[in-house]
Structure 1
Amino acid sequence: MAKTASALHILVKHKVLAEEIMDKLNKGAKFDVLAKKHSTCPSGKKGGSLGEFKKGQMVPAFDKICFTGELIKPHLVKTKFGWHVVKVLYRT
C-alpha cells in the first residue's frame, strides 16, 4: 500500500466552476495554467503542485482520492475548503 503521493490541485468555491475546469482539462487544457488562473489555494501559484505528502496528511476526502483514485486523470472532490480538481501524479 502506498505511503506517499504527489498531486496537483485547483481549489475553487463553487461546483460549477470546478466542473468547467474539469471539462477544459478533458479537452486538453494545461493543468498548471488553469491552477494559476483559478485556484484560491497558495499552491495555485506553483501550478497547483502540492508536492509529495504522506497518507493521512490531507483532509479525509482529499486523502482518499489521492491514495485510491486513478493516476493522471482529473478528479472532483468536495471538502470543507471547497471544490478541488485533483490530479494524482504518482504514489510510492
Structure 2
Amino acid sequence: MARTAAALHILVKHKEQAEDIIKQLKKGAKFQTLAKKYSTCPSGKKGGDLGEFRKGQMVPQFDKVCFSGEVLTPHLVKTKFGWHVVKVLYRT
C-alpha cells in the first residue's frame, strides 16, 4: 500500500471547465501551462504542483484518486473546493 504520492492538479469551479481542460490535455496541452492559466488554487502558480503528501492529508475524494487512480492519467474529482483535474506523478 502506497504511503505517499505526488500530484499536479488544476482547481476550477465548474465541471464543464474541468472536462474541457482534460480535452486540452488529451490534445497535447501542457498540464503546468493549463494550471497557471485556469487553476484557482494557489498551487496553480507553480503549475499545479502539490509536491509529495501522505495518505489522509488531502480531502477523501482527492486522496482516493491519488492513492488508487491510474498514474500519469488526468482524473476528474469533485470536492468541497470545486472540480479538480488531478494527475498523479508517482506513489511510494
TM score, norm. by length of structure 1: 1.00
Counting matched residue pairs gives: 92
Provide the residue aligned with 2:73 in structure 1: 73
Q: Which one-letter code corresponds to 1:5 in the other structure?
A: A
SS of the counterpart of 1:57? coil
C-alpha separation between the residues in 2 aligned to 1:35 and 1:90?
A: 19
Shift in Å, 1:75: 0.2
Provide Cα deviations, 1:29-64, integer angstroms capped at 9, x if missing partner: 000000000000000000000000000000000000
1:25 matched to 2:25? The reply is yes
C-alpha separation between the residues in 1 aligned to 2:65 and 2:35?
A: 18
Provide the residue aligned with 2:13 in structure 1: 13
Structure 1 moving runs of 4+ over 6 Å: none
Q: Quote the sequence identity (%).
A: 78
Segments of structure 1 that go 5 or more residues without pairing to the other structure are none
Provide the residue aligned with 1:44 in structure 2: 44
CA RMSD across the alignment = 0.2
TM score, norm. by length of structure 2: 1.00
SS of the counterpart of 2:77? strand
